[in-house]
Each structure stands twice: as C-alpha cells, then as structure tokens.
Amino acid sequence: MKDTLVIGSRGSKLALKQAESIQAELILRHPSIEVRIEIIRTTGDVKTEPLSVIGGKGVFTKELEEALLDGRIDLAVHSLKDLPTIVPESLRIAAICRREDPRDALVLNWPVEASSGGLTSLREGAVVGTSSQRRLAQIKHLRPDLDFKDVRGNVDTRLRKLDEGQYDALVLACAGLRRLGLENRLGAILSTTEMLPAVGQGALAIETRADDAGTVAVVTTLDDAPTRLACTAERAFLRGLGGGCELPIAGYAEVDGEQIRLQGLVADRLGERILRDEIRGSWDKAETLGQQLASLLLQRGANTLLEKAS
C-alpha cells in the first residue's frame, strides 16, 4: 500500500471543498497514508465564454486526466456531471461516492421560504440566470414569460451578481450550495418533476490510473453501490444519446431495493418541445436500462432535437 496519495482538484472553492471531503474520508479509513491536494487549472476555470461555446465535454476534467496520466497526481476528484461518459482506457472511475441532493434550486434575491412555490414564485418577466442549456430549456417550457441571461463564474461570483440585482433568480445545484455551507441560500428546491437533474448531478467521482492497483484498492473503499448503479444507468443513457453537459439532456435514476427507475429527458434549446420518458428494471441491468431509454427517446425524435441544439 502506498505511503502518500496526491489528489488532483480544480482550484475553485467548491472543487476544493469536494476534494477536502475525499481527503478526510481517505485519512479516516487509512490513517497510515498521507493524503495531500494538488490544484490543477482546467480549461473551464480560465475561459469566460459560455460552456456551449467553449465545449462542455471535458472542459473541467481534461487537465486533471492529463495530470493523472503524467503521474503528477494519483487520483482526481470530479463532479460526476462534468466527467465525459467515455473514460480513456488507461484511466478508470475507481469510486462514485454517496450522492448529495441531486435536485436544482431557485436562489432568489429576496427572502423566501424553502417550501415556496418554486417557479410559480417568479413574477412575469423576472430575470433568471443560468448557463445550463438543460435548465434553460426546462424552465422555458414551464415559464416562457421569463427573461433569461447567461451567468458564469464560481458560486460566490454568481451569488454576488444576484445580490447586486443583475438577476432576480439563479438556478443552482442543491449539492454545491450544501457542500459550501450555503443552505440558507436555497430558496425554492425544484422537484424532479419540474426540473430533471443533469446526469450524475450531486455525485462525486474519483478517477485513477487503471493500472495503479494500490491507489484503486484504497479509493474503492469510498464507492457507494446504490449511487454507482444509479449513475451507471444515467451515464449509459447520456452515452446512448451521444450528448454532453452542454446539450439540453437530463437523466435521473433512483435505486429502490433491487429495482432501478430511470427518467430521461431531451429538449430543444427554446424549450418548445420536450421528450420525457422513464424505464424500470433490475439493478443488475443498469447499463442496459440507460441504453434502452436512449433508444426509446431516439425513436420518438430525440435525434432531431439534439441536431438542432448542437
């Protein structure tokens, strides 16, 4: 077993919080190992254009994977939703950790009860900030009367812009706000009926070199089986559609005993047309369920919507 492990992380406050949580878990389970964090700058951190312009696939992960392959780090901590569904053969996802709340939330610049009316709480013409095509399409479908503006930057930057009045509301992941200790900014949590989450949202993935047996053995102790099964189905669905996080695709799976319920959604960028369906099956068929749901939506015309959105 190794004496030292180096974790690669992006430098944002949220990424570091996530990496520190993995560091703490590894130290707790393997106290004889020294675990330290190395900050790696990624394309997504240095570019200011919308993700749809710079290319969503891999912009937050490419440099971390290069650092792994170069041997500068032993493991990389990713938000699973940012990790492309096809991992290089020389690398592997050694663990998918227990999932945080996968839902999205409205963050408002006025006081609101957490149980308030969700999207119905927004006045006509309210300015909503989001850089996600998935969120944009679903909200436009439900509330075409709202005004939408792109927003980039880390969570603190986005909240500052909101509080300055540049937006009436933001749509952010519950998981990120909770990990940053910002539960008080959770305005209205959106149900998965209103807003289907991104594939893998709320889950952390730990990536290692495939041939690094020592690191893999240590990291797999953090793997959470129900989360891995759910995310395997979701990622198979996304892979089957040939999409990435920059396209209006959503997928969310829940494991109930020996069954998996997988919901999937494809939309056009304007939210005028949404295709949504679900499939259920045995937990040991997670990959197959994702492929089947992708095929089902493709048969219903999802490929046409994706061509228009790309």
* Residues noted as catalytic: 82
Strands (E), 19-130: 34-39, 75-79, 91-96, 104-108, 127-129
Residue 162 neighbours by CB distance under 10 Å? 21
Question: Which residues lie closer than 8 Å to 184 by C-beta, 6 or more apart?
Answer: none
Of residues 14, 18, 27, 13, the one with CA closest to residue 204:
18
Q: Edge to edge, what strands does the sheet with 249-256 contain? A: 249-256, 259-267, 274-282
Please, where are the H alpha helices in the chain? Answer: 13-29, 43-46, 51-54, 62-70, 133-142, 155-163, 174-179, 213-219, 225-241, 286-299, 302-309
* CA atoms within 13 Å, Cβ hemisphere of 61: 27
Question: Which residues lie closer than 8 Å to 126 by C-beta, 6 or more apart?
Answer: 146, 147, 168, 169
DSSP string across 235-257: HHHHHHHT--TTSSEEEEEEEET
DSSP 3-state of 95 = strand
Beta bridge partners of 91: 209
Q: Rounded CA gap, 34 and 130, in Å?
A: 39
